[in-house]
Chain A
């Protein structure tokens, strides 16, 4: 038992220090892209933050415990044999550990489900856009305006329904600034809902390996004021 008196405070201290250092390091490198350009991006970022929080703490506790054992439970010279242990597997520890991991797991899953339902809860939209992926470019069509465009133009604050399909192989439509991604499949239409919240120009990236020029299959999203939207769209049309 004397092991615990020293171990608990030391491991707690070490894991707190490690967790703090990691949180600061992560803050400093700033993991997610700086612009959070859509309502959906805020949801994803908050989910990301939650998972970071839990995982950093678990990581720190386990690594601190391992470090403690490496330092304090080393065999001294001549000490390798002769330790005496009770062979009982410590059922209580197992049960507590199991219960804790169940709580963590189901808690995380519940959180994740809720956030996910936030992302995809309704199918209403102010605007429709059709995206067509083909090796190795993106094409956008606005059915109500009957306009084709080479760039995705979206009005600020309006919920857009983006229907995605592919001409050839599987691609994946990804806008990192929106934190949203949806595969483009041949012979099928998939959908994505996004409400842009920050004006600007963002990248569209193909995330699914689609052959030769996959690396350079990129496009642009323009988020503009709703008043400018129609005009901008006419200007881009071809």
Chain B
């Protein structure tokens, strides 16, 4: 109820503000001011107000005062809320993908105008970026990290709730932008295109900045929690690998996100106040935005993928009944990826006109990322080697991750290599590559982790048959979409087009059929996830016979996770080891 009031208030305040202020201060500035007002009213009404007043007066806030759909401070509730938000956004953005693929099923224009196509494509892109940034990091991360390290909650519960609750206004802004028009730039929003479009673009930029802040807050919280809240005896060498991956992602979230926020705010300022950061006519340069943007957005893909690695390496030992192979190397390679991720961004600008000789170090550094990534793969393969594999749903999704992310990684070499990138940059090859890394990586891993921790979160098992059907349908659909797009890309098909020459009719049609399959698979997922809440078999505390701390407590865990502070005495993955403690 509170949530509904807050949403209505947000719409009313923002709408009325724009209407009243656009005369006196101009439309763009009016949007900025009204959004800030609407945003604050939303936060206040959804329960942030009460929590803020408590903080101001030094009062204790009841962690569960917000209820399941309000400003709740329990990390477990917030984790599930994150998953809910992110799956809602997945549904909306997935629908956008289906609309795109329907339009692209045949050459020529079917039912969308070029303008509508661009808007739908932009919405799909930014929506799925939000999903990839929140599903594992916000959802599984929030739920699992505190329990798995033996803590009662995150280090900053109010900040945690805040980073979740600033997302809904951003999502509402994106939906409004879709209706208003001007979302014609793709999620990358390169100026000058982004400083020209209609007022919807302003909504888009503000929403994007908001998501950025959510990510920064989440990063600070994760880092502090992992550094300071670990149980007694949980040394860094005993930290579950998923926590290691979340820690690494947290470093990027804190260090890189501020840069994209800055570049977006510069764009907002170009629009609202007539500055010329990115306007050549005013002495600015459009290329500056691209560098600032990718300085964040390349590391951002590691915010999406490092926790995905973590989930997979967490699952493999449990389902192969073996210790995690090369734990130290895997943890070290996460840190190596973090370091490298900051010095490769210019592989996105090889064709932009940057200095030729600078392309070579960026190519070498980019390709070097395959070294730590290879170590992660070795850990995965080494864990499976000579194990006793149980091919349950989480394991199946983990295997899917390995195969698809492998394709994503290998096709990335074509885009890191300057000569081939000159041909392939900005084509559907890039689109296919990126989907293999983020869907094949992050989304497959999210589903693996979702089915793995589902019994912990809800106390019931997700239906195994449906989870496997989901896997097979989705894998077949996904490959049917993107394998043909690699081909179209090399043949001369640019990305982000509403139409294409007739010679691509066949591969594009195949891709559209694949999209229908993937859509169907997603329906199976939603059906299973919701129905198993009450129809699933009761799970008990440890249905997978796993050894990390979250499996030592009931499912779902009690409010403060542990009855007494746990004490850790050995490594988390001693499955079948000769002298492991029982």
Contact = CB atoms under 8 A, between A and B. Distances in A.
Given A32-B490, A43-B419, A69-B385, A116 B285 contact: no
A187 B498 CA distance: 28
Contacts of B419: 43-44, 47-48, 112, 115-116, 119
Interface stretch (A79-87, A124-132, A147-155, A225-233): A79-87
Contact of A183 (B323, B329, B351): B351
Instruction: Please classify how large the interface on chain A is, using the bins under 10, 10 to 19, 20 to 34, 35 or more.
Output: 35 or more
A109 interface: yes
Contacts of A212: 114-115, 118, 184
Contacts of A5: none
Contacts of A3: 385-386
A12 interface: no
Interface string B400-429: 001100110011011011111011011100
B422 A90 contact: no
A65 B387 CA distance: 13
Size class of B's contact patch? 35 or more
A102 B370 CA distance: 9
Given A47-B417, A101-B370, A209-B186, A169 B386 contact: no
A89 B406 contact: no
Contacts of B356: 120
Contacts of A186: 192, 280-281, 286
Contacts of B197: 211
A215 B423 CA distance: 18
A171 to B, nearest CB: 10
Contact of B410 (A59, A84, A188): A59
A173 to B, nearest CB: 9
B490 A214 contact: no
Interface string A117-145: 00110000000000000000000000000
Interface in A65-82: 65-66, 69-70, 73-76, 79-82
A225 B428 CA distance: 33
A179 B423 CA distance: 5
A79 B388 CA distance: 7
B498 A215 contact: yes
B418 A81 contact: no
A84 B323 CA distance: 10
Interface of A: 3, 29, 31-33, 43-44, 47-48, 51, 54-55, 58-59, 62-63, 65-66, 69-70, 73-76, 79-87, 89-90, 93-94, 97-98, 101-102, 104-106, 108-109, 112-113, 115-116, 119-120, 168-170, 172, 174, 176-177, 179-183, 185-188, 190, 203, 205-216
Interface of B: 114-115, 117-118, 184-186, 190, 192-193, 196-197, 280-281, 285-287, 320-323, 325-329, 351-353, 356, 359-360, 363-364, 367-368, 370-371, 374-375, 377-378, 381-382, 384-391, 399, 402-403, 406-407, 410-411, 413-414, 416-420, 422-423, 425-427, 486-487, 490-492, 494-500, 545, 571, 574-578, 580
